[in-house]
A and B are shown apart, each in its own frame.
Chain A
Amino acid sequence: MTLFALLLIFLFVMIFLGIPIAFGVVGAGVLILGALRGFENLPFDMIAQRMLYGVNNYALLAIPAFLLVGRLMNSSGMTDRIFNVARTMVGHYKGGLGHVNVVGSMIFAGMSGSAVADAGGLGAVEVKAMTDDGYPLEFSSAVTAASATIGPIIPPSIPAVIYGALASESIGKIFIGSIIPGLMMSFGMMGIVAITSHIRNYPTKEKATFKEFLKYMKEGILPMLVPFIIIGGILSGIFTATEASAIAVFYCILISFFVYRSITLVEFVKVVKDTMLDTAVILFIIGGCSVYSWVLGRYQVTHEFIGWIGENVHHPGLLLLYINLFLLVIGCFMDSGPALFLLTPVLVPLIKQFGIDPIHFGVVMIFNLMIGLITPPVGTVLYTVVKVVNVPFDKLVKAVIPFYIPLFITLAIISYFPQVVLAIPNLVFK
């Protein structure tokens, strides 16, 4: 245990002192190797081999593909179309545009797997419309921030691809298992919007006529097909998650270039270049993580850790509770990506030992870290919203608080009723 404790403390200290995450994880691995075999006997070639093999994985290609889809949707104006469709669907309820905000994020979540893409792209459209309609800025930006966390829960999901790759689990199963939790959190948020709107008497939009509905549906139908291609393709077993991502890229390029002609070649090249850099940054860390998790497994470090936890915690339910609390605290101080990279290799062997299903755990862990995106002091989605709509940070934090209620309730339900997550994947993937 001592070795493991030292390693973990050292790793967290290094990372919080600002070492790039990728070097932090490789460094942790190198230090254990050095401590056990001496620094003169470092297996240089194995370190390089692990790093390369960590990214030499076909499943990971889904990361650039889904990142690109999210970016394309935003920069080719598809988000406006989605917003209009959502407005004709739920705009006429009390606090209509608040509901539109959540429903818009649900639809967008079916195309993009990133919360920041949702908050930064669709979010700006939503907040503007709500402000024009007389909603206070805090409320509209809080709904936007909260509903952005739906993005990586409803498939596709970049965190699910990362978790699946690091834990060697089926990404398709995690995608499908996240559908019900995604719907639960969305409806919960709409509940909060409804209650707040009744108390504060927020405006209602006129009910869209059937003709209007058809008009906006016709305008928005092509981007709205993306979720059906992705989720339908995976559910029916035609595509794996990675293949679905490739089809989605192809489809989005087709519609934004040839049908809507809403993006120029120059803009497109910029979008691709940004995606290329983001991909490199994420994948470089995954390569580093593969060195780290190899060392953890090879030198029995995780084994010792599991033994130690096993002596102190005896019930899987209790273990899940502790892990959830730990992740919530971590989520306050660390971004979802780094937390996923550092903790997946450690936690997955542990929960397996306790008989917890790794697909179930993956959904719980990702959900938990998504709550972390809207908790201060480090909440990337909060920062994105502040940057996009210029709302004061402290006001936004205060306005987001009611939305924690549906999130925590959903987290408790999916933690303790694994069937909520596992029912559909078990039915589909026999």
Chain B
Amino acid sequence: MEKISALFWKILTHVTFFCFVSMLTVMVFQVLSRDIFKISVSWTDEATRYFFIWAIFLGSALAQRRGDHIRITILIDRFPPPLRKLLNVVIDLFSFCLSAIILIGAIKMMISTYGIFASTIPISFTYIYLALASGIAIMLILILKDILNAFGHKKVLPFSKEGVTP
């Protein structure tokens, strides 16, 4: 199980990395071709955005695993550990419900956009909503695991960092 899980995260990281780098590459290619060589290639705009969407939602799942999502911990860090633990469970339950809502919505959109295609690339919107659905589904599982861990063990969950500041 451990091995499968490690493999899964490795593959996910590679896929996300691929999407992210492809996004940057197509983006640079588009600007160079349009503004320097004055050739406009029709599919680049949509391609960059769709790679971007995949990179964002798969990346969010990776960030969830590392506890990288931005939260404000100035108050919670001052609470006594038992209260902190309780609050973390409440937060996880809340996040779980919201992820479930988003996941249901994403699946509904995947079904309803099956016949709708992007204008310059022959792919259905289903595959774009699939990015949201799969990213959120992985996050949902991770949150569930956190909740179960909190009930199972005595240890206080590690805290996420304050996060990135633009």
State whether these chains interact: yes
Q: Tell me which residues across on chain A come within 8 A of B66, comparing CB atoms.
A: 277
The answer to the question of A247 belonging to the interface, with a C-beta cut-off of 8 Å to chain B, is yes
Residues of A within 8 A of B162 (CB): 335, 378, 380, 383
Taking CB atoms and an 8 Å cut-off, the chain B residues in 83-133 that contact chain A are 87-88, 91, 94-95, 98-99, 101-102, 104-106, 108-109, 112, 128-129, 131-132
- Bound form: Cα–Cα A46–B112 in Å: 12
Considering only CB atoms, which chain A residue lies closest to B56 in the complex? A283
Q: A55 at the A/B interface (Cβ < 8 Å)?
A: yes
Cα(A163)–Cα(B122), bound, Å = 33
Contact segment of A16-24, A201-209, A258-266, A348-356: A16-24
B133-165 contacts to A, CB under 8 A, are 160, 162-165
Q: Chain A 375-386 against B: per-residue CB contact (8 Å), 1 yes, 0 no?
A: 001101101000
Q: Are B108 and A281 in contact (CB under 8 A)?
A: no
Known: A48-B108, A380-B165. A23 touches B98 (CB 8 A): yes
CB-based contact B35/A243 at 8 Å:
yes
Find out whether the CB atom of A17 lies under 8 angstroms from the CB atom of B76. Answer: yes
Q: In angstroms, how far is the closest chain B Cβ from the Cβ of A91? A: 30
Q: Hey, which chain B residues are within 8 Å of A115, CB to CB?
A: 165-166
B28 touching A249, Cβ below 8 Å: yes
Q: Given known contacts A281-B164, A380-B165, is B75 in contact with A272 (CB within 8 Å)?
A: no
> Contact partner of A280 among B56, B87, B160, CB < 8 A?
B56
Q: Shortest Cβ distance from B21 into chain A, in angstroms?
A: 7
A337, B105: Cβ atoms closer than 8 Å: no
Residue ID in chain A nearest B160 by CB atoms: A20
Given known A-B contacts A48-B106, A48-B109, A272-B17, A279 and B56 have beta carbons under 8 A apart? yes
- Give the chain B neighbours of A285 by CB distance below 8 A: 70
A300-338 interface code vs B (CB 8 A; 1 in, 0 out): 000000000000000000000000000000000111111
Q: Which residue of B lies closest to A340 (CB)?
A: B166
Of B56, B95, B112, B160, which is within 8 A of A284 by CB? B56
Chain B residues near A48: list those with CB within 8 A: 102, 104-106, 108-109, 129, 132
B108 cross-chain contacts in A, Cβ below 8 A: 44-45, 48
The answer for the CA separation of A85 and B68 in the assembled complex, in Å, is 36
Q: Which of A59-67, A191-199, A389-397, A408-416 contacts B (4 or more CB under 8 A)?
A: A59-67
Q: Which of B58-75 contact A (CB under 8 A)?
A: 58-60, 62-63, 66, 68-75
Q: Is A162 an interface residue (CB 8 A)?
A: yes
B164 pairs with A116, CB closer than 8 A = yes
Residues of A in contact (CB 8 Å), total: 76
The answer to whether A420 has its CB under 8 Å from any CB of chain B is no
Q: Which residues of A contact B73 (CB under 8 A)?
A: 18
Known: A276-B16, A335-B72, A337-B163. A46 touches B105 (CB 8 A): yes
In the complex, which residues 41-57 of chain A have their Cβ closer than 8 Å to any Cβ of chain B?
A: 42-49, 51-52, 55-57
Contact A113 B74 (CB under 8 A): no
Q: Is A287's CB within 8 Å of the partner chain B?
A: yes
Contact partners of A3 in chain B: CB under 8 A: none
A152-B166, A337-B165 known; A56 vs B49 contact (CB < 8 Å): yes
A15 to B, closest residue via Cβ: B72
Complex: A233 Cα to B10 Cα, angstroms: 39
Contact of A159 among B55, B74, B166 (CB under 8 A): B166
Is B165 touching A17 in the complex (CB atoms < 8 A)?
no
Name the residue of chain A whose CB is nearest to the CB of B21. A272
Is A26 interfacial (CB 8 A cutoff)? yes
| Extra pairs beyond A17-B75, A273-B13, A281-B68 (16, CB < 8 Å) | A15-B71, A22-B60, A26-B101, A44-B108, A65-B27, A152-B166, A246-B28, A246-B30, A247-B32, A250-B28, A277-B63, A281-B59, A281-B63, A283-B52, A335-B165, A337-B163
10 residue pairs bridging A and B, Cβ less than 8 Å apart: A17-B76, A18-B75, A22-B60, A45-B109, A116-B165, A249-B28, A280-B60, A281-B70, A283-B52, A337-B70
- Chain A to chain B: the 6 pairs with minimum beta-carbon distance, closest first: A280-B59, A48-B105, A158-B166, A44-B105, A18-B76, A20-B69
